[in-house]
Amino acid sequence: MSEKKDKFLVTGGAQLRGAVKVSGAKNSVLKLMGAALLAEGTTVLNNCPEILDVPYMKDVLEGLGCSVMISGQSVYITTPSDLKSDADFEAVRQFRASVCVLGPLTARCGRAVVALPGGDAIGSRPLDMHQTGLEKLGAKTYIEHGCVVAETDQLKGAHIVLDFPSVGATENILTAAVLADGVTILDNAAREPEIVDLCEMLISMGARIEGAGSNTLTITGVERLNPTTHDVVGDRIVAGTWAYAAAITRGDITVGGIPPRHLHLPLEKLKLAGAIIETYENGFRVRMDGRPRAVDFQTLPFPGFPTDLQPMAIGLAAVAEGMSVITENVFESRFRFVDEMLRLGADAHVDGHHVVMRGKEQLSSTTVWSSDIRAGAGLVLAALRADGVTEVRDVYHIDRGYPNFVENLNALGAKVERVVE
């Protein structure tokens, strides 16, 4: 775990080779921890990633009256019968995923007060769809004193159509609807593997959910749920980061702990760039023997190319042979990352939600700053193709999403040093 002043010193030139195993998904474990609020008793989550956001979420849950113990890759959450409805402001505002307690608290307590959350600087992520969905279920919602408030006497099933397949809105509506009276049909729902993981955990708690993994979820409310034990799905974004690390550094990495179907399109893009891909039941291998070819990318909700892997796509484009166009369709401020790539000598031009990259054989070392989790990881990968030593600052962002990042890089043959100032 890092202090906010930590930095990485990344020596360029390494070709990453070897094997790495990913643990549970950051984008799933925090939502599963929030879902534990739905059942009195002790819920156990295994295969949890050892990242900063897990203890952050522990603080949120403890502020609501839970007892939480973290032991290695297992988290034990004991939820009381008398749950508090006001999430602690200081704990919640540290990271975006904390808003996932909104649905469970509304369902369990009939009231939820959750501070408008902080997190990564990748653009506006309003809660409009979260609020609209809860209102369709019979809650009254409003913003007051920097918090979103939801209140209801009884949630009732409804037909809800999302304007956009928002992951967060799908999660909050789903976790509220499981205890609502009647049937909820959620159309244009998010289809991400992390949504399927949440559905599977809820079903093991006694929820009645049909359609997980499709764009229509049918939820039949039940009176109560029971605590459970659940294994967190593997982190496809961390796995994808290692896949692109192999291609960017012209290396050879085998990644375990993730079904390759969760990364179908990102791996197909690497094939187009010239990588040799082998897939297994619960992993894959990426080998890039020469300079990658330029490939175009556009981010879209699953099963499209993940916005969380966009910095890695830009890193690949920066050193590829030819011109690439990367289009960001999810978060409007994610191209802040490009400013830091320019410091590394990348040939990039931003035009609205497109960036045009002309690849270079090698980048040049400098000092860069992480603005979010994925941008930080992307900068480290790009720095591996720079001459000399690149200083990457604000790496606490990276520690929020990547367990043992420096240790894994060095085990694969990189030379990366963490410096505590």
| Secondary structure class of 41 (helix, strand, coil) | strand
Residue numbering of the annotated binding site for phosphoenolpyruvate: 26-27
Closest CA to 243 of 277, 218, 212: 277
Please give the helix or strand (H or E) that residue 59 lies within, else none.
helix 53-63
State the Cα–Cα distance between residues 333 and 34, nearest whole angstrom.
27
Closest CA to 32 of 236, 231, 258, 306: 231
Residue numbering of the annotated binding site: 26-27, 96, 308, 330
Residue numbering of the annotated binding site for UDP-N-acetyl-alpha-D-glucosamine: 96, 308, 330
Torsion angle, CA of 49/53/56/62, rounded to 10 degrees? -40
Cα 166 to chain centroid distance, Å, stands at 13
| Secondary structure class of 320 (helix, strand, coil) | coil
CB 408 within 8 A of CB 55: no
**Residue matched to tokens 């990242």:** 51
Q: What are the residue numbers of the active site? A: 120
Answer positive or negative: Cα dihedral of 345, 346, 348, 353.
negative
